[in-house]
Amino acid sequence: MQEKISRWRVDKRILGKFFEMNGRDTYPGIVEDGIANGSFEAWHSKRKKDGTNLPWTMRTEIMYRDTPMTPGLAYPWEPAGGREASFEQPEGGVHGKPKWKRFQRIRLSPEAGRCGILQRITLADERTLDYRIGLSARASAPNVRLYAALEDKDGTRLAECAIAPGADWERFDVRLTLSRASRHRYEASPFGEYRLSLTAETETACEIDLDWVTLASGDAVEGVFNPTTIDLLKRYRVTSIRWGGNYANEYNWKDGIGPWERRPVRNNLNWGGLEPNYFGTNEFLRFCQLVGAEPFLNVGFSHDLPPKLAAEWVEYVNGAADTPMGKLRAEHGYPEPWGVKLWQVGNESYGDYQFGYTDSIDFSNRVQAYCDAMREADPSIEIVIAGEDPMYVDYSEIPGEPPIWNRRLFEIAGPAYASGLDIHQYTRGIRDAGLRGEWLAANKADPVFYNQVLVAYPTQYETLIQGLKQLASGYGIQELVLEIGEWNLEPETGRDWPKAEYETMAHACYVASMLNAFIRQGDSVKYAYQRDNTLYYRAYPVDMRPVNPGNDTSLLYADVLARPDTGWRRVELSTEGAGFEMPRTWVRIRPMADIPYVDAAAVLSDAEDELVLFAVNRDLKQARTLSVEGDWRAEAVKRIEVRLQHADSPFDRHEDWYETTAYRMTDSGLEAGPDGRYKLELPAGSVARITIQFHDKR
């Protein structure tokens, strides 16, 4: 192994995570609220491309997708009780949408008996049996008894509290302790299936009104945050968190500040459903503090979110308490500036599915005003702007050709504004089943090889990064900063094919390959944020799984790169070995020869007394032998430690929430052979970290 040590250090922020305001990732994945539509608003259904308008369409917060629509009853609430009451959603109430605020009215009669509403939910009951319910209520007659209860899936009451609402709106804080955990598990997970019921009985005909219902675990950190999510993000040493995505281009940050009761509920226009805005700027930044991760804030780009609003956000976050927005932040309970350095303008603004979608010329011109205004508010911040993956041919302004978006940014916005770009990489393969079949036939390939092409795609992706740096240099940008703001492998395969999905070591090999590329291109790739929902602890009908193998892969890197006692410099490797030809795969993957089965990257500590080699075998059929040699003397080596992540098959699925069953982490040493080389067998679809410690500076 011949070495060339970089002058620059590998940035630990390549080990970041991204999350989006959809599904259950935020509520209760980050902020402990297990209720959907607690303010009883008119539900927002986003129409799918096929024309359907189902209420749970897209990544809404709906847990049970068989929930019916009931006239007069806010979705996804359902009637409760032996006899149906009648329901109405009048305008008004204490919390909700700013112009069309609604509340839930239930008409009761003595004959109806105890009845009301319920919502099917899930709770992390293996962690805690204590819960807090908040609700606002009033009744049109005295002596109405309102019951807040947590029930088993079958309706058995496990905790209950009686409330006596008066004639005026009153806020109630109910604390309930379950008598036992539910016997019903949500998809064999640590989450129990429950119902939150709000029922009432009366001696005279009357109406009871309900509004602003919340449900949090009793062990929520600071009464707000999901403790398991915090623990997981800390355990896997996530270094930075990016908050943004599609939702950024519709999000007005002023909706998410101040007391929760004053924050408006908004339609989630991107994903469907409703956004209560409990999770806002200060919640995000405090959450990052608790995790120990650096925050990355994404400013929306659209005519509805002008540069002045972006500048005010910067001032609200970073301004002194004597600035207008800093004073407002202080009034909200945060007198000290947060000091956030990492900011982005726009998100995938080239896509016609985005709010603020536009062409490259318009974006290149208008984005300059955002950057100027934000830097005026705080000259010390770092800003990247929305770029485009160089091979997103399907979103190109020139049909069938690679996008010209980035070139236009360099050309029009120039070094003052385009020296930092955000690009995203979702590796998917071929969506059309017929075209996948044709691909197999044309390449005389099998489904395993198809997956292998996707797993090894980071090798080609690295050449795109190199090309982008070269393109930037032609426009005077010699040190292009890249943020890989969203990335992951989401393979499109046949139903009966093996699949390199999250639960497999095949997917973990893709993670390692991407991280290796980020290390090698670390002069440019400074931030990277994997799209992975695993660590946001919640139940959900899609994207729900135990912590996947790829997170243990990331930890192999984080345990090195995130160490506080040293920085790490890239070591350029001289490599040789077997490889394969990558065929054209849909429009995003080009033909490419000599794709190595084994991909490797190395880093050296600042003191040059520790060398770490990361190696991944992308051959999904057979083992490969890794042979390592260096220019050091054998007696200079103090010890060599190996941690190997592997499985019986790269496609074995890890689906157990309590034990690691589908893959293994094996620790060993490594001795030099007679030829002075260190050899390690890498099973098919495996990842290894080799740590070489020297007695002194190497």
> Are the CB atoms for 392 and 588 separated by under 8 Å?
yes
CA dihedral 128, 32, 554, 513 (to 10 degrees): 130
> Are the CB atoms for 298 and 281 separated by under 8 Å?
no
Strand partners, 195: 120, 151
Token pair recorded at residue 561: 């790169």
**Residue 698: predicted pLDDT:** 64
- Cα 135 from Cα 137, distance rounded (Å): 7
Strand partners, 598: 617
Which of these, 493, 483, 517, lies nearest to 618 by C-alpha position?
517
> Are the CB atoms for 343 and 253 separated by under 8 Å?
no
- Cα 22 from Cα 45, distance rounded (Å): 13
Q: Half-sphere exposure (CA, 13 Å, Cβ side) for 357? A: 11
* CATH superfamily of the 1-29+430-478+493-518+565-698 domain: Golgi alpha-mannosidase II (2.60.40.1180)
> Are the CB atoms for 150 and 176 separated by under 8 Å?
yes
Strand partners, 626: 680
SS3 361: helix
> Are the CB atoms for 439 and 445 separated by under 8 Å?
yes
Architecture category of domain 78-217 in CATH: Sandwich (2.60)
Length of the chain: 698
Which of these, 575, 526, 507, 207, lies nearest to 344 by C-alpha position?
526
One-letter amino acid identity for 257? I
One-letter amino acid identity for 74? A
- All residues at 6 or more sequence positions from 164 whose CB lies less than 8 Å from its CB, including other chains: 143, 144, 145, 146
Q: Half-sphere exposure (CA, 13 Å, Cβ side) for 554? A: 29
Beta strands in 407-516 (DSSP E): 420-429, 481-492
- Cα 570 from Cα 7, distance rounded (Å): 8
| Residue boundaries of the structural domains of the chain | 1-29+430-478+493-518+565-698, 78-217, 223-429+479-492+519-564
**CA 33 centroid distance within chain:** 18
**CA 59 centroid distance within chain:** 13
User: Look-up: residue for tokens 């350095």?
Assistant: 341
- Cα 85 from Cα 199, distance rounded (Å): 10
One-letter amino acid identity for 70? T
223-429+479-492+519-564: CATH number: 3.20.20.80
- All residues at 6 or more sequence positions from 73 whose CB lies less than 8 Å from its CB, including other chains: 79, 87, 89, 104, 117
One-letter amino acid identity for 649? S
SS3 letters across 152-185: ECCCCEEEEEEECCCCCCEEEEEEEECCCCCCCE
One-letter amino acid identity for 28? P
Token pair recorded at residue 229: 């999510």
Residue 238: count other Cβ atoms within 10 Å of its Cβ.
27
Which of these, 250, 275, 278, 251, lies nearest to 262 by C-alpha position?
278
**Residue 52: predicted pLDDT:** 82
Q: Which helix (H) or strand (E) holds 529?
A: strand 525-531
Q: Half-sphere exposure (CA, 13 Å, Cβ side) for 484? A: 31
**Peptide bond before residue 402 is cis, with ω within 30 degrees of 0:** no
Q: Which helix (H) or strand (E) holds 243?
A: strand 240-243
One-letter amino acid identity for 374? M
Strand partners, 583: none
Which of these, 524, 324, 269, 316, lies nearest to 406 by C-alpha position?
524
User: Look-up: residue for tokens 């991107």?
Assistant: 270
Buried b (16+ CB within 10 A) or exposed e, 248-281: bbbbebbbbbbebeebbbbbbebbbbbbbbbbbb
Taking 50 as the pLDDT cut, the residues of the chain under it are 1-2
Distance (Å) of CA 162 to CA 87, 145, 201: 21, 7, 11
Helix intervals (H) in 546-590: 549-561
pLDDT in tens, 626-678: 999 998 888 899 999 999 999 999 999 999 999 999 999 999 999 999 888 99
**Residue 2: predicted pLDDT:** 43
What 8-state DSSP symbol labels residue 36? S
